[in-house]
Structure 1
Amino acid sequence: MEKRIIFISLTLFMMILNNVYAQSGQNTIEKQKFHLGKAGEDGAGYAQAVKVGKTIYISGTVGVGDAATALTNVYNGLQKTLAFYGATFQNVVKENLYTTNIEEMKKHNDIRKKYYNNDFPAATWVQIQRLYMETALVEVELVAVLP
């Protein structure tokens, strides 16, 4: 019985302590954000990239035009975002590619592959009906980890 009372007391104490800690604002995470166009990003409700700890989460970067141009522009844009944090494509651990034409992406995969320099991340490619930007052919989001 005494152990049970001690356990319940300790549990209640921890709940109170966690509540005080949460109310003090100490449970928030530190985010370092990167914006390409803050006004547009705020209007849509996102940040181009957010770094938490050593992990960088990069929002979808879009490409328009023919597949070769769209892919080159997307990966050049992603390269700039990575560079803001001192990262390269060798820090990328996950890639999600969304396109309205998967066959065109497959034909021009050599463009994408050169950015990774044979150090490829886990990747998912999905064909969808359309992207947020109606004229976009491709959108790529990344997760990268700093050493």
Structure 2
Amino acid sequence: MEKRILFTLAVLLIAVFNGVYAQSGQNAIEKQKFHFGKTGEDGAGYSQAVKVGKTIYISGTVGVGDAATALTNVYNGLQKTLAFYGATFQNVVKENLYTTNIEEMKKHNDIRKKYYNNDFPAATWVQIQRLYMETALVEVELVAVLP
């Protein structure tokens, strides 16, 4: 057990060191960022999306209102973010969906499916008590990879 703990600590220290080292000097990671607008993103302290190498990490895009409207707005927003990098939903490899009403998401899954055109990513759907934006029904984050 003690060896496992020491190994875990060593791995964490290496990861922390590499993370700090990778952000400084000649080894800085090149990040290409996308913002919908400075107000919300800068105020909360995040970027809507960050591209590192060929991988695009897209922050949660939120939808409010009834489920059909919320999902349509979310996936249209995600489509806009992907397009900024020359990507489509066919580049998406991972999707995380958070909602305050999972049954409504399941009922309107056809809206989501049309964006993927039967090329679905690995996905996780989770019902939670509330989202950062208090009135939001759904929030979806993606990871996409460019060829």
Q: TM-score, normalised by structure 1?
A: 0.84
Q: Give the secondary structure class of the aligned counterpart of 1:134.
A: coil
Shift in Å, 1:81: 0.2
**Relative to structure 1, is the Cα distance of residues 79 and 25 closer, same or farther in structure 2, using a 3 angstrom cutoff?**
same
Runs of 4 or more, structure 1, over 4 Å off, are: 21-24
User: How far, CA to CA, are the matches of 2:64 and 2:145 in structure 1?
Assistant: 28
Structure 2 unpaired stretches of 5+: 1-17
- 1:74 matched to 2:67? The reply is no
User: How far, CA to CA, are the matches of 1:99 and 1:137 in structure 2?
Assistant: 6
Which residues of 2 match residues 110-125 of structure 1 at below 5 A?
110-125=110-125
User: How far, CA to CA, are the matches of 2:22 and 2:141 in structure 1?
Assistant: 32
Structure 2 residue aligned with 1:83: 83
Structure 1 residue aligned with 2:9: none
Structure 2 residue aligned with 1:128: 128
User: How far, CA to CA, are the matches of 1:88 and 1:31 in structure 2?
Assistant: 19
Q: Aligned residue pairs: how many?
A: 128
Q: Give the secondary structure class of the aligned counterpart of 1:103.
A: helix
Structure 1 residue aligned with 2:30: 30
Structure 1 stretch displaced more, 35-44 or 70-79: 35-44
Cα RMSD of the aligned pairs, angstroms, is: 1.7
Structure 2 residue aligned with 1:96: 96
User: How far, CA to CA, are the matches of 1:45 and 1:27 in structure 2?
Assistant: 24
Conserved 8 A contact 2:22-2:29: no
Amino acid corresponding to residue 52 of structure 1 in structure 2: V
Shift in Å, 1:23: 9.7
User: How far, CA to CA, are the matches of 2:36 and 2:76 in structure 1?
Assistant: 13
Shift in Å, 1:22: 7.0
Structure 2 residue aligned with 1:14: none
Deviation per CA, 1:83-139: give whole Å up to 9, x if none: 000000000000000000000000000000000000000000000000000000000
**Relative to structure 1, is the Cα distance of residues 42 and 104 closer, same or farther in structure 2, using a 3 angstrom cutoff?**
same
Shift in Å, 1:24: 6.6
Q: Give the secondary structure class of the aligned counterpart of 1:26.
A: helix
